[in-house]
Structure 1
């Protein structure tokens, strides 16, 4: 069996490019819903919604972080990969699984996670953080009003 070689292509952007990306993202806070490409013959072809969504996410990540990685995730994730996706340590993820906060399954002696479960868990955690932050801001505003 031949080994699969992963290749990486870096796309570097200038500071001016990044400024343009940030301007475009700021001017469309709800997100872009469609992209089109102009063909060499001048005709315009609208990109499929799935592809437009990927491009929009990549541009938003680039605007926020200054860099972006586009990759695929398999349906089943190792504990290391799932922990990386969640931004937690492997022991923390395994504790979450033991406590029933995130579903997992075993393959032999190894713990595995479904990609969709991990992504949904991540989205819920992010939504909970935003809600908590909004509550803190509201409390701060109330305290400022008392001063």
Structure 2
């Protein structure tokens, strides 16, 4: 006989919770890379440290990469870990935040492509990650796990 605590325990091998486990892995990867990338842009707003030429910003409202780096660092870096905290602790706002993170990432990538007037392989990687995060959050098993 299992107890309610055992039922709620996070077991990635449980097929009902596999989608939630994949969400956690994806959001963690996003958070780590956003902290790294955003942090680099904050320390070097010229973008040269990350091989991002200043010419890419021509036609955008940004004189350098500081504000995009700040957004990347705070929203997708710190924000991803805040969402993960809510997911792991099953906070009442976790499902909304999990879905919002995926949708916001897709919007960020689309805005980048529009403003920069270019497409990079990383746009497909992170745009796909955003779609994956939003799609996983919409699965009934994840909704039940985070709302239940």
Q: Shared fold by TM > 0.5?
A: no
State the TM-score, normalized to the length of structure 2: 0.24
Q: Which has the larger radius of gyration?
A: 1
Q: Which of 1 and 2 has higher RCO (CA within 8 Å, sep 6+)?
A: 2
More helix by share: 2
State the TM-score, normalized to the length of structure 1: 0.24
